[in-house]
Amino acid sequence: MNPTGSTYAGKLALITGSRRGVGRLLAEHILRNGGRVAGFARGEATIEHPDYHHFQVDIGDPASVQQGFAALKKVADAVHIVINNAAVLTSQYAMIMPPAQAQAMINTNLMGAFMVSREASKLMRKGKWGRIINIGSMAVSLEPIGDSVYAACKAGLATLSNVMAKELAPLNITCNTLSITAIKTDMLAQLPGDKIDAVIAGLPIPRYAEPDDIFNIVDFLASERSSYITAQTIYMGGVN
């Protein structure tokens, strides 16, 4: 179901990793519901919409993030919502994980979210309103073999979110983490299907996440009424 509405009217959401997967789904959802979207991604835009602004940014590179914000400020004077979605995943036994791949996960999945939140909160500060939503993972709870660095990054992301929640609370900016389960995206396609199916079968609600499962929680965390909800991690599908 893809309802249209005005849930996000008057709001600009910055979404990292907006070219594909969950980031693209969320960008299209917010656009359908009256919001403007700024997308940060390494590649060219895959969304064409009058309210979509694309910026080629490598969030794993702090200088690139700052350049992206400089460009963003030329088309928007405020950012209301940030969705730190961009992530890279290499799943491999730690003993043979290439260090460069491990470092890339840290740079993008953790440092990238930090830099984007850092710069966005400076803009949110002026409006005394903001919602930072970090896309976490069930890997933090399930700790699957092969995901040592990925799961550690996502655990770190939730902690980053909780600390920033304290720092930014006086500015009426909330920071929360949505730890998603498996959803059929390009990233998931990198992993062995049978192993993911086995993980899903073991969940209290044994099915893959659907886009609307994610939209529901993002809408909730981004809403005006959620101003008293911060430093929280919401898992899906019964993971805890």
Q: Output 99 or 170, the one with its CB closest to other proteins.
A: 170
What Rg value do the Cα atoms of the chain yield, rounded? 17
Cβ(131)–Cβ(172) below 8 Å: no
DSSP H or E segment with residue 168: helix 148-168
CA distance 129 to 224: 9
Q: Which is nearer to other proteins, 171 or 234 (CB)?
A: 171
Query: Rounded to the nearest whole angstrom, what is the least distance from the CB of residue 237 to other proteins in the complex?
Result: 37
Torsion of CA 79, 131, 209, 90, to 10 degrees: 70
Nearest approach, Cβ of residue 221 and other proteins (Å) = 23
Min CB(70)–other proteins separation in Å: 8
Q: Which of 41, 128, 120 is nearest to 76 (CA)?
A: 120
For other proteins, give the closer residue by CB, 171 or 196.
171
Our CB check for other proteins shows the closer of 171 and 183 to be 171
Distance CA 40, CA 116 (A): 10
Examine the residue annotation and report whether 150 is marked as an active-site residue of this protein: yes
CB 222 within 8 A of CB 131: yes
Q: Where are the beta strands (DSSP E) in the chain?
A: 12-16, 36-41, 52-56, 81-84, 130-137, 173-180, 233-235
Nearer to other proteins among residue 167 and residue 210 (C-beta): 167
Helices (H), 177-225: 186-189, 193-201, 211-222
Smallest gap from Cβ 128 to other proteins, in A, equals: 9
CA-CA distance, 42 to 64, in Å (whole number)? 10
Pick the catalytic residue from 8, 52, 150, 235: 150
Q: Which residues in 76-86 are b (16+ Cβ under 10 Å) and which e?
A: eebbbbbbbbb
Question: Using CB under 8 A as the criterion, which residues of the chain lie in contact with other proteins when the complex forms?
Answer: 66, 122, 125, 167, 170-171
Q: How far is the CB of 66 from other proteins (least distance, A)?
A: 8
Instruction: Kindly list the catalytic residues.
Output: 150
